[in-house]
Amino acid sequence: MCIGVLLSSCAAGPDSTGLEYAPQMYHSTPYEPLTQITDESQGTWLDSNDEDGHGEFYNSNPYNQFGMNMRKPVANTVKRGTLLQQEFGAGDEQLALAAETLISPYDSLQEGVVKQGQELYDRFCEHCHGTKGNGDGLVAEKYAGVANLNGAAYLNITEGHIFHVITYGKGLMGAHGSQISAEDRWKIARYVKQMQNSN
């Protein structure tokens, strides 16, 4: 008999959805980022979740102090749409233009920029280009052709050139614009130039 009651509770039809386990998962509150409905009485349709006390059209985010759905990007994530100071694309022509045009936002004497650039270089670049930039990192042992940043062809490149290559990649190097923020790319570029000058 218990089995029959249990099985009948699982039945569903046009007038009954049957027993739902954790209805909040099936009918969660949709948080639309570009709308802000603060009236909790709105949207009583399809409100299978009686525990929250409001309809599903109510979409203010109660966990944000301003009730907003859109939040500032999480720290250390890359904000879309601000990769470059000007609009440059990938490719050699764009690289040449960026190399001449892009200027670092950091003053050459700004305290801590080179040190932070070295930390970022060690994290993102050292495994390919090597500790001193000689193209002898662990990855270079497996794949020939990693750039020797101290080679004659690279000594006169600008920070804008380095920034663009980090952003879009070049040759064997893939694009890192989605992994490294624009500010950090400039710091790496500053460190690379300082490293070249000290070798």
In tens digits, what is the pLDDT along the chain, a chain of 199 residues? 667 655 565 555 666 666 667 766 666 655 555 556 666 665 444 444 555 554 455 555 666 666 666 666 677 666 555 544 556 788 888 889 889 988 888 876 677 899 999 999 999 999 999 999 999 999 999 988 899 999 999 999 999 999 999 999 998 899 998 889 888 999 999 999 999 988 7
Distance CA 156, CA 169 (A): 18
138-188 pLDDT, tens digit each: 999 998 889 999 999 999 999 999 999 999 999 889 999 888 988 899 999
Say if 85 falls within a structural domain.
no
Q: Are residues 67 and 135 in the same domain?
A: no
136 burial (CB, 10 Å; 0-12 / 13-18 / 19+) is middle
Q: Of all residues in the chain, what percent carry a pLDDT higher than 70? A: 56
Q: Are residues 116 and 39 in the same domain?
A: no
Q: Are residues 45 and 119 in the same domain?
A: no
Number of structural domains in the chain: 2
The CATH code of the domain that includes 117 is 1.10.760.10
Query: Domain of 122?
Result: 92-102+109-198
Structure tokens at 93: 């022509």
Q: Are residues 129 and 58 in the same domain?
A: no
pTM of the model: 0.59
